[in-house]
Chain A
């Protein structure tokens, strides 16, 4: 095989800042850190990116990462007075989105008038590290059906492991999957975008893995039977299968990180993936008591079709206010997310006025209009004007839409 060389993620210590306090060597559970009389260094073959050494480091010297074709040897690291210049690929690749990715992004962000800036406290995303010409290869470490077996909606939770390949993501970012094979005209398949459902530190904290939420497509928008290439490919993946992945993408639909910031999430179906990532990020940091509220408005036809329904209902109330709307419950009136938004109007109005509250909408395009009207109603009932509020929200990067 003549595959392009995989870039490896390498953990390095900045010798200019390091004071040789030995804390990292002490903290490392796998003895990957060592030193000579000159430098503290990391053994690339042992480091498993558990990050146990990061927060104890008093200087920040420990927090350096490179993507390299050929890892720096211990001898090289021992000889450094300063880190070599960073030639990691995000510097070269940034900004050059594949046309197909650009097209999908344009459609997805129409609802907010094109891509906007992220919240001011969003973390800086890595973009487009892996391209169609040079994709990353991930292996499947799990694939589970999320929706009840008796429902027609088949949504899967697929866990991808990147091994030693760096694929740094933030909540709200997406990646592209390239289905193998050729289309009818003998060209490679188009890339398909999927929102990442895991927080930045991994589906399992500290592991180099992430999850996707994919719905098996069996019909087109008009209800005609059609077999979605990428979604069926993903839903049929088995443990151990290799997947070509490009990205990450997305520099706008990112969560705020400052203490006290609130997040209102409105979604349906697989639009829940980024919401799950953001919620999980906040859940893992609950102990830090950073304040801020989480609000979720999530719609599906029935509880059995609502991905992550069980885990969602187990989340602590002090973390998140969960509002689920079901439109096809037997013997119950149809309920949509917009109905719940109206029902919680007082809180919604308060959050709209709160400059630390950010709104995220993700799901089918059909949802957007209804949500818009619900916001307009809430504003009317609370002495505000949605036509004036919305542009302010957008200008402050507090309103983010990704619909398809």
Chain B
């Protein structure tokens, strides 16, 4: 269905046919724009940015590129096309028609899930708002802004669901989403990882590679939902989410490339020497990977969770690619492995698959992160450099779940408090590491130029060259 751009709020949900909802959202819109001007990308008001805007949700229509000022970006409400006769595909309601309205008994669960997902969207914009001032190139600046406006649109998607299906409660939640602030002591964002700072571009790339990938898996699980409006919303969001992971994966790959080039050119693996050359040594990249991987892993929640079990049994949140899996889609009597520390040993146990769904989604995500890391590893491999990136053990540096009370090394050994204190600086970024990375962050805004610590991309956006003028400052 085409998106109606002549309306105040572009949408493909026939908003003008529901005047109450339209008024409610038009009332929310100025609040959103205020939030954007206050908490959106710093000092970007007048920039013309070469952005992708959806002009329809069909495959050919949603990737239209043009220069836009971000405040004029057409944020709106786009749902993937409805699947006629769609059924609930898992859980105890399996086989019934998908819900077009919220079932009363699941109202609070659904609201909590939507609010939690929605809260991460503005949070990441807030976390990233200063990065534009230190962009390594116009190309990267444009990619940052693309990520930001799409996070903004994802907030719209969630607020639409709240307004359309949750009445007054939904409207209040919509306001609260604009009121919380990432990192604020009094009114923080809901999830811990979204209150961390994104202080530099290395963190940004790691965040988009690892944490936005959590977003992908959460959205994919919600795209299976029996609540059809949520499913359709998430399906369209997934298409946009892919770009964010591309920014992260290719961003890190370009840093690795630049470092490997410098290592070869100067025939050195010495971190201090490489830092002298103004590139980021590979062990430091590994530490950032360890940090973002472990913090994001916590977002999946506890390995064993009755909430996850009931969300599945009730048809609210499915598994990744639920409809492609071939089992009973109810998980009766099946088990799933998880790890736990017992008597100072990490042992594999089995839990009912229904209660281990968080762990299962985490495992899907781990495999996907691992695939990306393996692709990074091709770069040193090609350059004849022995270094390889590895993912740390799942129990490493966890704050949520069964490993919370234990110190686990990246290799999976259980450590005493003293050993952890002695060693953690070699696994996680230290103040000194962060200070070094921050020292590299200077603004490169001349088109075709790239900061010294990162290689140019193999391809530009939308088949444009790398030296295209992706942002015009005016």
**Which residues of A are interface residues toward B (Cβ below 8 A)?**
16-17, 19-23, 26-27, 37, 51-53, 55-56, 58-60, 63, 81, 259, 287-288
Contact = CB atoms under 8 A, between A and B. Distances in A.
Contact of A58 (B59, B60, B66, B246): B246
A27 B59 CA distance: 7
For the complex of A and B, the 7 pairs showing the least CB-CB separation, nearest first, are: A21-B242, A52-B59, A55-B63, A58-B243, A58-B246, A60-B459, A23-B242
Interface in B80-124: none
Nearest to B241: A21
Contacts of B245: 19, 21, 58
Interface string B236-254: 0011011101100110000
B459 A20 contact: no
14 contacts: A19-B242, A19-B246, A21-B246, A26-B239, A27-B59, A37-B371, A51-B60, A52-B59, A53-B59, A56-B62, A56-B239, A59-B246, A287-B55, A288-B66
Contacts of A55: 59-60, 62-63
A40 B368 CA distance: 13
Given A20-B368, A58-B243, A63 B62 contact: no
Nearest to B244: A58
Contacts of B64: 288
B458 interface: yes
B463 interface: yes
Given A17-B458, A55-B63, 13 more contacts: A17-B459, A19-B246, A19-B372, A21-B216, A23-B239, A26-B238, A27-B239, A52-B60, A56-B63, A59-B250, A59-B459, A81-B378, A287-B55
Nearest to A28: B59
A287 B61 CA distance: 10
Nearest to A15: B375
Interface in B244-300: 245-246, 249-250
Nearest to B223: A26
A21 to B, nearest CB: 4
A19 B239 CA distance: 13
Interface size class of B (residues with CB under 8 A): 20 to 34
A21 B367 CA distance: 13
Contact of B242 (A16, A37, A58, A288): A58
* Majority secondary structure of chain B interface residues (helix, strand, loop or mixed): helix
Nearest to B242: A21
Contacts of A21: 216, 241-242, 245-246
Name, among B59, B60, B463, the residue most crowded by chain A CB atoms within 10 Å (CB to CB): B59
A304 B326 CA distance: 63
Nearest to A59: B246
A64 to B, nearest CB: 11
A285 B241 CA distance: 26
Interface string B56-71: 0001111110100000
Interface of B: 55, 59-64, 66, 216, 238-239, 241-243, 245-246, 249-250, 367-368, 371-372, 375, 378, 458-459, 462-463
Nearest to B220: A22
Contacts of B462: 60
Contacts of A37: 367, 371
Contacts of B250: 17, 19, 59
Contacts of B463: 60, 63
Contacts of B238: 23, 26
Contacts of B458: 16-17
A359 B239 CA distance: 41
A341 to B, nearest CB: 33
B238 to A, nearest CB: 7
* Majority secondary structure of chain A interface residues (helix, strand, loop or mixed): loop
Name, among B60, B249, B458, B462, the residue most crowded by chain A CB atoms within 10 Å (CB to CB): B60
Contacts of A27: 59, 239
A69 to B, nearest CB: 28
Name, among B242, B243, B372, the residue most crowded by chain A CB atoms within 10 Å (CB to CB): B242
Nearest to A29: B59
B218 to A, nearest CB: 15
A81 B61 CA distance: 31
A78 B275 CA distance: 38
Contacts of A16: 458
Contacts of A26: 238-239
A293 to B, nearest CB: 19
Nearest to B246: A58
B305 to A, nearest CB: 26
Nearest to B209: A19
A16 B459 CA distance: 11
B319 to A, nearest CB: 15
Name, among B61, B375, B378, the residue most crowded by chain A CB atoms within 10 Å (CB to CB): B375
Given A26-B238, A81-B378, A56 B59 contact: yes
A361 B241 CA distance: 47
A21 B250 CA distance: 13
A17 B59 CA distance: 20
Contacts of B59: 27, 52-53, 55-56
A52 B81 CA distance: 15
A58 B147 CA distance: 12
Contacts of B368: 20
Nearest to B459: A60
A195 to B, nearest CB: 27
Contacts of A20: 368, 371-372
A56 B240 CA distance: 8
A36 to B, nearest CB: 11
A17 B249 CA distance: 10
A55 B59 CA distance: 7
A58 B251 CA distance: 13
B62 A19 contact: no
Name, among A19, A27, A56, the residue most crowded by chain B CB atoms within 10 Å (CB to CB): A19
A22 B367 CA distance: 14
Contacts of A288: 55, 64, 66
Contacts of B63: 55-56
A376 to B, nearest CB: 39
Contacts of B239: 23, 26-27, 56
A108 to B, nearest CB: 31
A184 B61 CA distance: 54
A20 B367 CA distance: 12
A291 to B, nearest CB: 11
B60 A19 contact: no
Contacts of B66: 259, 288
A22 B216 CA distance: 11
Contacts of A51: 60
Contacts of A287: 55, 61
Contacts of B60: 51-52, 55
Nearest to B378: A81
Nearest to B375: A19
A380 B249 CA distance: 60
Contacts of A19: 242, 245-246, 249-250, 372, 375
Nearest to A20: B371
Contacts of B375: 19
Contacts of B216: 21
A53 B250 CA distance: 20
A10 B216 CA distance: 30
B418 to A, nearest CB: 40
Contacts of A52: 59-60
B320 to A, nearest CB: 10
Contacts of A58: 242-243, 245-246
Contacts of B378: 81
A5 B69 CA distance: 52
B292 to A, nearest CB: 17
B143 to A, nearest CB: 10
A368 to B, nearest CB: 37
A403 to B, nearest CB: 34
Name, among A22, A58, A60, the residue most crowded by chain B CB atoms within 10 Å (CB to CB): A58
A20 B246 CA distance: 9
